[in-house]
Amino acid sequence: MIEGEIVDDWSERIRVARERKGWSTRDLAHGIKEREVLIRKIERGDLIPEDDVRRKLENALGIRLIDTPEDETVSRGGGRMTTTIGDVISFKKIRR
């Protein structure tokens, strides 16, 4: 089951993280036990990685490729909840 939406720049994140480690596409493919042609297609953006491959890439490269709901809350500036008048009225009606 997917935990969220895949990020828009997933192919670039993978390529940049691989290059930072000084790995070739062959090194990465060997490290996660996948074919090099698959890594190349993913880095070009021709193929979205399936969940099992995505997890392997995330673990090997130390990156996140999924926007989780928690990430969205933080990027929107909080997610702080406040009580509204409607909440108070509803609560009082329920208690009676």
- Is residue 86 classed as helix, strand or coil in its secondary structure? helix
Task: Report pTM.
Answer: 0.67
Question: In this structure, which topology does domain 5-95 adopt according to CATH?
Answer: 434 Repressor (Amino-terminal Domain) (1.10.260)
Q: What is the pLDDT of residues 40-49, one digit of tens each?
A: 999 999 999 9
**Spatial distance between the Cα atoms of 19 and 71, rounded to a whole number of angstroms:** 25
Q: Element (H or E) spanning 66, and its range?
A: strand 66-67
Annotated domain spans of the chain: 5-95
Distance of alpha carbon 84 from alpha carbon 14, whole angstroms: 43
**Which residues does the chain have with pLDDT short of 70?**
1-3, 69-96
The one-letter amino acid at 17? A
Task: Give the distance from CA 18 to its chain's centroid.
Answer: 17
